């Protein structure tokens, strides 16, 4: 009997490990890439037939209540055209890889190498030295050609980092000659951008920088991606909030069990197929639970308010997973609601020092300063205490100082002097 129990335990554990092995890549993929993520599990399985969930128009599958109440949203734009593919970034770049910018064979070869080695944000990350050695040219010659990407559309593409991308875009901007030197200085020292706020042309510099694309490929990231939400959150006729899985887009798995008894090979493939079905069900259950928790913590947002502080650790603790697992789970996932279509990660907006949403904190900080005593303005430490008490989050004083600078709020001693002047 002991042997039998041990065998059952091993079999159960084996079944669970198979499901989990299938589940992670299926969970981490976006809904539009789900079929591709499943391919390795089904390509060698003759008993599985998969039918894609992308055979109907998107609008037919989303509750009309969401479409009717949806407002224009700059992060998503036209709901009706979410699955329409536009020209890709590489299509646009390929048209420019010739004269007049790259008229010679070597310049065109360098340009093609740069394009082939752009990361997802449009930054160049190739092995320049290896390329130069192979082509018999110097690194200086290579860089001279690469820098011509400052004149390629979209401007900023092909830069090695944000600073260089902004310099590319600066040369194509409408900035005045008077403000240009300050803009160059600010771009090279963006960590301390607000230390230049007293400079004469700072306002113009900030206006111009605010028009720059960051990252440089952002327009094509949004346009080329098939944005299909995993969850739909809306209010029903009785104004009760509903969380619904967009399972109409999930692939349908059919398993042929006709010859299972006669062939051990087929029996094994059927077990693997059932494990895949279990993994798909686990994906649905996990994301549905994420949706319920987002509604619980962000209910104010769905009723017209702001996104509130919410840490990935909060979700991870609920699920019993590592925060990094949750981070990958919500990547490339979207929620449709009557305020538009938002990436799940937006409900976990992070600051530099804390994994919390800072929009509401900044608004609260502004409110505290507006209502403070002019005789005794609130210090950063006092502001920190009040914010931590209000939002139940752990922060550090330097973050409050950083938020103040971003909001153009002076320190407590400077504010006291300003109050005395009025």
Q: What is the CATH number for 415?
A: 1.10.10
Last residue of a domain, one of 348, 380, 408: 348
Higher pLDDT, residue 133 or 261: 133
**Which of the four pLDDT bands, split at 50, 70 and 90, describes residue 138?**
very high
**Which of the four pLDDT bands, split at 50, 70 and 90, describes residue 140?**
very high
Q: 315 and 252, same structural domain?
A: yes
Peptide bond into 392 cis (omega under 30): no
Q: 189 and 97, same structural domain?
A: yes
**pLDDT score, position 405:** 80
Q: 417 and 297, same structural domain?
A: no
Average per-residue pLDDT for the chain: 76
Range of the domain at 32: 2-61+227-348
Distance CA 302, CA 178 (A): 46
Average pLDDT over residues 298-313: 78
Q: 382 and 330, same structural domain?
A: no
**Which spans in 105-179 are helix H?**
105-116, 128-135, 139-146, 162-170
Residue for token digits 């993994």?
279
Distance CA 356, CA 300 (A): 16
Which tokens belong to 95? 């048209």
How many domains does the chain contain in total?
3
**Which of the four pLDDT bands, split at 50, 70 and 90, describes residue 82?**
very low
Within-domain flag for 108: yes
386 within 8 A of 333, measured Cβ to Cβ: no
Residue 223: is its pLDDT beyond 50?
no
Higher pLDDT, residue 94 or 44: 94
**pLDDT score, position 15:** 43
Within-domain flag for 189: yes
DSSP-assigned states of every residue in 298-317: SHHHHTT--PPP--HHHHHH
Average pLDDT over residues 221-234: 70
**pLDDT score, position 146:** 92
Distance CA 148, CA 357 (A): 39
Short-list 381, 415, 376, 416, CA closest to 398: 381
Q: How many helices (H) and strands (E) does the chain have?
A: 20, 6
Q: 43 and 13, same structural domain?
A: yes
DSSP-assigned states of every residue in 399-420: HHHHHHHHTT---HHHHHHHHH
First to last CA, the chain: 89
**pLDDT score, position 18:** 54
Distance CA 89, CA 311 (A): 34
Residue for token digits 């979207």?
334
Q: 216 and 130, same structural domain?
A: yes
Q: 147 and 25, same structural domain?
A: no
> How big is the CA angle at 165 (ends 161 and 171), to the nearest 5 degrees?
150
Q: What is the pLDDT of residues 385-394, one digit of tens each?
A: 998 888 877 7
Rg (C-alpha) for the chain, rounded Å, is 27
């Amino acid at each position: 009997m002991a042997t039998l129990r041990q065998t059952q335990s091993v079999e159960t554990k084996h079944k669970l490990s198979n499901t989990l092995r299938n589940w992670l890549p299926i969970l981490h993929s976006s809904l539009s890439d789900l079929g591709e993520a499943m391919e390795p599990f089904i390509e060698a399985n003759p008993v599985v037939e998969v039918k894609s969930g992308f055979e109907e128009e998107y609008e037919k599958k989303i509750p009309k209540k969401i479409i009717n109440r949806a407002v224009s949203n700059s992060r998503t734009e036209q709901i009706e055209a979410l699955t329409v593919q536009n020209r890709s970034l590489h299509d646009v770049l390929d048209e420019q890889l010739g004269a007049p910018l790259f008229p010679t064979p070597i310049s065109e070869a360098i340009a093609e190498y740069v394009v082939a080695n752009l990361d997802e944000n449009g930054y160049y990350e190739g092995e320049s030295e290896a390329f130069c050695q192979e082509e018999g040219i110097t690194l200086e010659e290579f860089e001279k050609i690469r820098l011509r990407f400052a004149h390629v559309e979209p401007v900023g593409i092909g830069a090695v980092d944000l600073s260089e991308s902004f310099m590319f875009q600066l040369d194509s901007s409408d900035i005045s000659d008077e403000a240009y030197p300050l803009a160059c200085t600010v771009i090279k020292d963006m960590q301390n951008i607000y230390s230049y706020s007293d400079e004469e042309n700072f306002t113009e510099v900030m206006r111009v920088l605010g028009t720059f694309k960051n990252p440089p490929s952002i327009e094509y990231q949004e346009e080329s991606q098939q944005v299909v939400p995993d969850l739909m959150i809306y209010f029903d006729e009785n104004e009760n909030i509903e969380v619904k899985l967009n399972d109409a887009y999930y692939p349908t798995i059919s398993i042929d069990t006709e010859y299972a008894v006669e062939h051990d090979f087929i029996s094994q493939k059927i077990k693997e197929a059932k494990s895949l079905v279990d993994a798909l069900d686990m994906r649905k259950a996990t994301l549905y639970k994420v949706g319920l928790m987002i509604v619980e913590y962000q209910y104010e947002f769905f009723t017209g308010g702001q996104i509130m502080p919410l840490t990935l650790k909060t979700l991870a603790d609920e699920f019993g997973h590592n925060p990094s697992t949750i981070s990958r789970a919500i990547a490339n996932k979207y929620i449709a609601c009557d305020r538009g279509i938002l990436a799940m990660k937006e409900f976990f907006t992070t600051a530099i020092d804390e994994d919390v949403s800072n929009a509401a904190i900044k608004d609260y900080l502004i409110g505290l300063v507006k209502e403070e005593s002019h005789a005794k303005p609130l210090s950063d430490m006092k502001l920190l205490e009040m914010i931590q008490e209000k939002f139940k989050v752990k922060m550090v004083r330097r973050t409050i100082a950083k938020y103040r600078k971003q909001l153009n709020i002076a320190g407590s001693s400077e504010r006291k002097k300003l109050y005395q002047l009025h």
